[in-house]
Amino acid sequence: MSKKIIGLLLAGLIVAGAVGGFIAMQGKQSPKSQKKEEELTKYTNLIMHFSMMVPNWTYGYEWMCSNPEQKEERLPLKTFYDIKKGVVSIAPEYILADDATKTRCGKVAFSQDLPDPKKAGFLHWWEIRSAPVQDEKTLTAFIKKQYGSACGLEKLEKTAQEDVFNAIIKENSIEPGKPGSCFINYAYAIKYVPAERKAFYWNIGQEDNWRDAQGKGYDQRMIESFRYERPE
pLDDT of residue 226: 98
pLDDT in tens, the chain (232 residues): 554 444 444 444 344 444 344 333 333 333 443 344 458 999 999 999 999 999 999 888 777 777 777 777 788 999 999 999 999 999 888 877 777 777 777 787 877 654 444 455 556 789 999 999 999 999 999 999 999 999 999 999 999 999 999 999 999 878 777 888 898 889 999 999 999 999 999 999 888 888 998 889 999 999 999 999 998 7
Domain borders along the chain are: 40-125+209-228, 132-200
Q: How far is CA 174 from CA 29, 145, 151, 183, 205, in A?
A: 57, 18, 11, 8, 21
pTM for this entry: 0.76
The rounded distance, in Å, linking the Cα atoms of 65 and 134 is: 48
Give the model confidence (pLDDT) of 75-93 as tens digits: 899 999 999 999 999 988 8
**Residue 54 dihedral angles phi and psi, to the nearest 5°:** -125, 130
Say if CB 108 and CB 97 are below 8 A apart. yes
Separation CA 146–CA 149 (nearest Å): 8
Q: Is the dihedral of CA 111, 115, 117, 122 positive or negative?
A: positive
